[in-house]
Structure 1
């Protein structure tokens, strides 16, 4: 008799209870995450310093996976994992590819793995087990450390620095099991989504030197050669516009949002019954000339309020067309941290270097969806130091 093979508890696990979601939403507010800027900045500095001698970034996505793993390790477990200095005995690049490609394919094809172990399922399981094993071990180390500090009366001093894990498990609406599920999903999902989104963003800026120069001038005007703080990030309007435009042009997910209606509704003259699944094709809408003039062009100015360099047809005016992180209580759990990570590392890169595409890299970057958009080829950059 065939036995259904159960997928491991992974990214698809759900924190559906409203109280649990309320707790994590409060902790992921912008005001909560700004306190992590001092911890994120040294990681970005270390990443940039790697290229002072080589003056090129080969296989950008692989490099950014290491950066994102290190950065998310600091957020989730309050520790450095050693991904950038080579002391870590882990490399999630291959595992992430297998993991998310398997999830994507399992949703589109016949599912024989539900009844017996297929080669695809075995690869998926090995990749998932490896990544979640590392995450669980690091989480337990962090919990054990706090338990020891509490016994010797030093926990309060330790917690003067921001600690996301402690804030999470201490929240009255969050159980230990749900906290672990959220941390694991944030860690694994955040690595892949952030590293891919940054690769597309840097490709766009390397290709469009005029946009890169405008971003550099904003960096000079706001922080010069310094670091970001809460106030300076709030002034980086063009940087945020570049991120939004890259996410619009290279939409991070293949379709959009699916929601199951909890009551009967009439939308656009159509009656939709309760319990029906409704798909909002956000990717298609972001590439539709009806909403964005010249949708295949990289025009960050369309997201700048009051910018006179674009006309009204080009300007972004439909707020619910561009929601790459979702919207409301079921939006992406790591949105604020991912955005902060992208803002800091992008500022650091273009603050230090002029970035251009290596000769072999195409101007049009092809990609596939393996849950998140991923380039089909390696992306290499050439660097030139700023004066």
Structure 2
């Protein structure tokens, strides 16, 4: 299994993991983000608030974004009257079931011996999602065959097929991006907006940066503009530190080791409780506070304050060969949509403190009834 996985990653990493990989996909991500802004305006009530199921709307945005850059295909997830039985909505619902059941299946492994109801739900949702995703991939593959490649940017799928014509590799990569890139990116974006709403002075500082680089609300974002937005990137980093979507990492030992004086045998799972480490003053000054400035060099410092923490404390995307495959694209999607939202709206939250639940992901369970006030 390890060799098969390594072979797969060696083929997809050059396409997905290079720092420059996402730069040519800013335009399609920007287009989806513009549609999302229109969607937010449609959702607001007379008090300029949106319904508490805001994360569901983010799921639609995330799925639309990842399929657009992977396949050059618009699913229509952000259409005004998306039907509950539409393919995009059913794919999103299936993903929710997959993540909901995966955690309990890991903890209670009775399914290995009998067909439990939870296992049946997981299999049914997984089969449906895979079936719909494969249908999208096959349709895109056929359509792209008939489009000239010399006057457009190649999709991620096409680049992978050029590198390795084995369609199985492309299929696995696309399924992985779809499944892993919707829930995680959606929750991370929602939490960042929540923290910005709770810290209006930080939100205004971000707005001033956006106003400088994007004086017109309708300006199309570019990779050059985004690279100049240091405070935007710092807000995302600080959000992922304070409320990381993945609360920790687990690795299975391939050999016996001695750790802090304890001998741990091969085959044991070792957990890294990053969420706890990131919230302790030992590693970050005033660790419970939302301070994006800690990620920016201040007063001639040779490095940002946050970089003084142990390098393995803050790992929102993992580390090493098994680092998150879609990291570059998740960061880019968040940067674009957050820039669009804060440039267009002042975001407020006037309800109870949001509660979080830690399962497979660390996610909010309280309805997020944000208020989106138009900026002049």
TM norm structure 1? 0.86
Q: Which moved more, 1:54-63 or 1:214-223?
A: 54-63
CA drift at 1:356: 0.3
Does the 8 Å contact 1:365/1:375 carry over to 2? yes
Secondary structure, aligned partner of 1:50 = helix
- Superposition pairs for residues 111-260 of structure 1, below 5 Å? 111-147=109-145, 149=146, 154-157=147-150, 160-172=152-164, 175-225=166-216, 226-254=219-247, 256-260=248-252
| Alpha-carbon distance, 1:319 to partner | 2.7
Paired with 1:276 and 1:214, the residues of 2 have a C-alpha distance of: 46
* Root mean square deviation, CA, Å: 2.5
Looking at structure 2, the residues matched to 94 and 144 of structure 1 have their Cα atoms a distance apart, in angstroms, of 27
Mean alpha-carbon deviation: is it higher for 364-373 or for 341-350?
A: 364-373
> 1:82-97 maps to which residues of 2 (within 5 A)?
82-85=76-79, 86=81, 89-91=87-89, 92-97=91-96
Identify which of 44, 54, 64 aligns with 1:70.
64
When residues 216 and 302 of structure 1 are mapped into structure 2, their CA distance, relative to the original with a 3 A threshold, is: same
Find the counterpart in structure 2 of residue 10 from structure 1.
none
Which of 194-203 and 268-277 deviates more?
Answer: 268-277
Between the aligned partners of 2:343 and 2:358, the Cα distance in structure 1 is 31
In 1: Cα distance, 2:143 partner to 2:59 partner: 27
Residues 307-327 of structure 1, C-alpha deviation per residue, up to 9 Å, x if partnerless? 699xx9877533321111011
Q: 1:275 to 1:314 in 2, by over 3 A?
A: closer
CA-to-aligned-CA distance 1:218-277 (integer Å, 9 cap, x gap) = 1111222223212111111111111111111112123x2222344555554555555554
SS in 1 for 2:41: coil
Q: Is the 8 A contact 1:35 1:162 kept in 2?
A: no
Note closer, same or farther for the CA distance 1:15–1:234 as it changes in structure 2 (3 Å cut): farther
> What is the match of residue 39 of structure 1?
28
Trace 1:276-315 onto structure 2 (pairs within 5 A). 276-306=268-298
- Return 5+ residue gaps in structure 1 as ranges: 1-12
The structure where helix makes up a greater share of residues is 2
Aligned length: 361
Measure, in 2, the Cα distance between the counterparts of 1:73 and 1:14: 28
Q: Indicate how the Cα distance of structure 1 residues 365 and 186 shifts in structure 2: closer, same or farther if over 3 A, else same.
A: same
CA offset at residue 210 of structure 1?
0.4
Which structure 1 residue ranges, 4+ long, deviate > 6 Å from structure 2?
312-315
- Name the residue aligned to 1:108: 107
Which residues of structure 2 form unaligned runs of 5+? none
Using the alignment, how far apart are the partners of 2:75 and 2:113 within structure 1?
Answer: 38
1:78 touches 1:142 (CA, 8 Å); kept in 2? Answer: yes
Once residues 105 and 253 of structure 2 are traced to their aligned partners in structure 1, the CA distance between those partners, rounded to angstroms, is 25
Alignment partners' CA distance in 2, 1:319 and 1:217: 31
Give the equivalent residue in structure 1 for 2:11.
23
Q: TM-score, normalised by structure 2?
A: 0.88
Provide the rounded CA distance (Å) in 2 between the counterparts of 1:33 and 1:204: 26
